[in-house]
Amino acid sequence: MSQRFYCPEPSTGGRYRLDADESKHLVRVSRHGVGDLVEVFDGRGFATIARVVEAGKTAVLEAEGPPLPDRPAEVFVEIGAAVPKGDRFDWLVEKAVELGVARVVPLTTARSVVDPRGSKLDRLRRAIVEASKQSGRSRLMELGAPEGLSEFLGRLGGVRLLADPTGAAPDAWPTIRAGDSVRLVVGPEGGLTDEETALARDLGWTAVRLASPILRVETAAVAGAAAILARVQPVH
């Protein structure tokens, strides 16, 4: 499989000009030269095989052949998760990309310990690109702006799930069908407050149990996304 490079700018005459970081990675890190075949993608679902035609400080690729197929997940999965300390949210984001999650939103809750802003969000966006390159995904996962829990809960529509150790067992989850929009809330270490859980239930969210043990934030988010995708039923 050819290596993949990210170019969000549209082509000019079938040629793609990589930015400085991607050019450096292609030429200095991956040791590609003129004539090599690689894959280029735009983060919006388009990808194609391309040949390196310039390999200097700015690398230029020329498309060869038709666009490669885009393979989006069967459902639109959005995860709203409290942000734990350290780099654990980075891991959550990376694995969410690999699973095909469409959107991740950092949440602020009553017991939150981290309020991600500025440089942390920039780092997470770079992590999304790198995970997309590695996983073969051509459509970048969206990183939403940080939201308060009540704001996130108040957006209605679709299948809405609240990770809760006392929630419904997997066989009692709502039906999830191909084409659905599914949102999952994962609270902070220490869990949501009783008032936050009550608000979610009042707004029509379904509390669901992801596992018997208590899961860490990043584990719960990834386990929840995997469980959602595994339960998708075809539309008859």
Phi first, then psi, for residue 77 (nearest 5°) are: -105, 125
Give residue 10's pLDDT.
93
- Please give the domain boundaries of the chain with CATH numbers for all domains: 4-63 (2.40.240.20), 76-233 (3.40.1280.10)
Which helix (DSSP H) or strand (DSSP E) does residue 88 occupy? Answer: helix 88-99
Q: Which residue has the higher pLDDT, 74 or 120?
A: 74
Banded pLDDT at 158 (limits 50, 70, 90): very high
Strand blocks (E) in 132-211: 142-143, 147-148, 159-168, 176-177, 181-186, 206-208
Give residue 1's pLDDT.
42
The answer to whether residues 13 and 26 touch, using CB atoms and an 8 Å cutoff, is no
Give residue 22's pLDDT.
96
Mean per-residue pLDDT over the chain, rounded: 94
Banded pLDDT at 117 (limits 50, 70, 90): confident
Give residue 206's pLDDT.
97
pLDDT digits (tens, 9 = 90+) for 50-80: 999 999 999 999 999 899 998 888 999 999 9
pLDDT of 85 > 60? The answer is yes
pLDDT of 2 > 90? The answer is no
pTM reported for the whole predicted model = 0.92
Q: Which residue has the higher pLDDT, 119 or 31?
A: 31
